Structure 1
Amino acid sequence: MRQLFPGLADRAGNLGGGTYYPDQMAPILRHSGGGLELVQARWGMPSPAFALKTKRDPGVTNVRNLTSRHWQRWLGPSHRCLVPITSFAEPVKGGNQWFRFADPDRPAFFAGIETRSWRSVRKVKDGETEDDLFAFLTCQPNAEVSEVHPKAMPVILTEPEEWELWLTAPIEVAKALQRPLPDGALLPFDTEVGRERLT
């Protein structure tokens, strides 16, 4: 990350390789003053009020409808982030189908949004907590993902120009990035039993 983003402030602690699940802490790159910082945030943005049946809010892991009034408050550049990934999974019967990049040396990020110091009840046993939260955008799937998930795939950015555009451009321009990777850019690999997750 430091090589890709000179001047990056590393506030994520001693991070090694890992696998991340919804409602867990995961690394993101976000705005900080005049630069970027690497931090850990909780995966799951606040849910729309109409979706909540109790005071508990489990969070929303991904975002598709950018015209929703609920999401528009977080679509400005100051709330956009990059979520570093090396592979990701889509749920299938009995576990997950994993995908990696055909070019394993290409850095990649989910296009994310984030908010800070959000107070909510994520787990009843914990009561109200204050968290920095994130989620990532989804779009129509490409050929590889559509074989197991015909409705959506994460928005993945692989070029420095895309990273800069997502982090800085007005949403009217940046929303053009909400499109699938080209067909052939991903390779499926062994299915593992477990919940939806990202690495």
Structure 2
Amino acid sequence: MFGGSAFTDTTGNLQPGSVWPDQLAPVVRHTDGGLELARARWGMPSPPSVLKTARDPGVTNVRNTASPHWRRWLGPAHRCLVPLTSFAEPQGAGRGNQWFAHADDAPMFFAGIEVRGWTSLRKVKDGETTDDLFAFLTTEPNAEVRPVHPRAMPVILTRPEDWNTWLTAPFDIAGMLQRPLPDGTLRLTEAPV
């Protein structure tokens, strides 16, 4: 899938299932001499200006890449791909989630950013922890997502050339991938795929 790049899997035997914020998820990231499939905790460090206490629950997605808080992690060394088969958007109070999958079941990745070895207080009961963290970019929604979430959708990459661009290109080029999937690319599902 990644054009013959050296590839290492450090995840072990990954169990299938859904991933939610603040949980470990697989990410494809840079390593010495190639790429690796590793596990990272979902939620990048929050901007200090939004924190009311020492506890930082993390930020699950990033929209404003012009923010000084995010700019430090936009270079290729901090970019990752987050594999997915489907994703959910909340439908509103008591209505559960609407799930989305690729219309043709093609491979999909969120365009992500990551930081390794970040020490923070995510949960008071756990105390400070040091984690590899990630979040993914969002953009305006396409036709399938807009009725459920009119403000945003994840940046999803489905083509190998886009995966490579996201992982390797300068941000002035890679940042152009922060766009919605073309209308008709996604299908609605009742449950995760």
TM-score range, shorter chain: over 0.9
Name the structure 2 match of 1:126: 126
Measured after TM superposition, the shift of residue 43 of structure 1 is 0.1
Q: Tell me how many residue pairs correspond in the alignment.
A: 190
Map 1:34-183 → 2, pairs under 5 A: 34-93=33-92, 94=94, 95-104=96-105, 106-183=106-183
Measured after TM superposition, the shift of residue 17 of structure 1 is 1.8
Name the structure 2 match of 1:21: 20
Q: Hey, what's the Cα distance between the residues in 2 that align with 1:107 and 1:187? A: 14
Q: Hey, what's the Cα distance between the residues in 2 that align with 1:33 and 1:138? A: 28
TM-score, normalized by length of structure 2?
Answer: 0.95
Q: Hey, what's the Cα distance between the residues in 1 that align with 2:149 and 2:133? A: 25
Q: Give the letter aligned to residue 17 of structure 2.
A: G
Q: Hey, what's the Cα distance between the residues in 2 that align with 1:16 and 1:131? A: 20
128 and 5 in structure 1: CA distance in 2 versus 1, 3 angstrom threshold = farther
Q: Hey, what's the Cα distance between the residues in 1 that align with 2:15 and 2:57? A: 26
TM-score, normalized by length of structure 1?
Answer: 0.92
Alignment check: 8 A CA contact 2:139 2:180 kept:
yes
Q: Hey, what's the Cα distance between the residues in 2 that align with 1:34 and 1:159? A: 23
Q: Hey, what's the Cα distance between the residues in 1 that align with 2:99 and 2:135? A: 19
Measured after TM superposition, the shift of residue 5 of structure 1 is 5.8
Q: Hey, what's the Cα distance between the residues in 1 that align with 2:137 and 2:100? A: 17
Give RMSD over aligned pairs. Answer: 1.3
DSSP-derived class of the 1:167 partner: helix
Q: Give the letter aligned to residue 113 of structure 2.
A: I
Name the structure 2 match of 1:195: none
